[in-house]
Structure 1
């Protein structure tokens, strides 16, 4: 089952991460009524987790399984998908952070093994975006067992588990960030925002949604375009009204750990079921290419911005906003080249050699 109309949303989500890190004052983030959405990078990572579970189900779930999932081949495919570019970005950042590596010799091995998100104090060292791949690696490791559970007991049992984990996650997160013990960049902060178990609910929810979608795909009616747009508007409204909602409730809220995952699921489901001109437009080869290159864009953003700021920015004398868009253009080009010349070829080689 091909759902190419979803691919471009990965590029948009990755773009919000770049705006969050480097372009918070650039257009369109400069628009007060869109700022929270355009710079919703950490929340966009949660969208990635939901979408990852959904796509895994579409790719691997069988309505009438003929044989169990080949775990070794699956894990090799997942390794080939994310590790080469992840390692490239890590090596680039390690080369630029020799002092940090000398001060903490455990830092690089944890990142190399994709374990940094498990230990507070390490997720945001070296290549910051890499923490989310540490989380994703855990999801990839657990997926075959979750799929086996669905085959054995159906979706109801896992759905109950998902709801329980979701409730526990939101309770721990909200009570933690509103406690006196919480400060930014603290060990508690690292645990509630970056630990893999604090994001597990989003992946499971996406997986369950993908299973249900695949089971019912033959009988689903094409999505009404109005409903699709409404689901997107709902996400934007949730993002833009969060500061106001926090003020009304008198507490801090975080959408990073699955709180608005149901809204993401609604949008993904409707987009997956869409047909006609919307599907055709989103399946344009250029948009699909940008979506496929979004992983490189996401993981290479820090090295590219770092190199640009060090080597090019002092020589061109542009304004801060112009510098951001110049670097973003370079990043998009580098990401496409990375996908075409590095990521895809290495993925093919690894799959052939190890599988």
Structure 2
């Protein structure tokens, strides 16, 4: 039996973010699509028993759940320094840059493989939007990947091109994107959930971790701009991140009345599905991304989408959304406001986007991503 060891630490991280969602969905579908004679084992840092039980529940069908001796922070330091232990001797798939990367000879031991996933090049292009420790860690681990990884998965061709400018990975790069979660379905109690969440009849929705890179401050300023529709509030869903993004404080400074902005915080998949489905328009103002999963999620519900002109996001959205230029940055809120006004007040445009979005979203499927991942390891 050939076992693929998948690192699932990000799934139970304090703030899983988009990478945690990616790791969860990919692992689940790797198990479901495992070729004959292959299975999947999950590898995690020294997490507590509650997290172990959660992983066992999330991933039925695992051949093994391997708990490493080091906690996440210490494990990150160790692997960054090349101290990796026995897990590096296996066939390893890392859904992030956290990976046991050391020198090895795959020609002599073809079962020993390490594949790393680099989701974006933000640590190089927009380091000011990340913590200094995060920037250092990502840069160091990508450098180790350049030296020791057998292959590197990236979510878009835009990231592939940008990453190759930093380190020449060339034919070691493989583009494998994400997809909307199959668990994002409208629940039978949608009306009750919408009432409990306090969703207005019409609203602009934004989804993402509350951190500087996501561009939420620009969207808040946009909603306060005279060109924005004054009768449609802003609803923001997503967990707190770093950088002290105070939504209500930003709204107050921008002159946006408190009753025109609502923060849902972290929500479960059923609540998120309701929020997507009932939104008048979804706005993704992110300054830098590697994929932009919420764009495809919103499109899958037929919700009109407005997004930034980040190269990766534009690649994913194709022509199924309204693109807004980020630069010059000082007038970005004004352009966002105008785009929101246009979509909210143009039923023909909104209807066209509602048709184009689901068509585009259907191009992304987790089964396809998982099978491409299995094929990558087979090719190695």
Which TM class, normalised by the smaller chain length?
under 0.3
Higher RCO, Cα 8 Å, sep 6+: 1
Structure with bigger strand share is 2
TM-score (norm 1): 0.26
Structure with bigger helix share is 1
TM-score (norm 2): 0.25
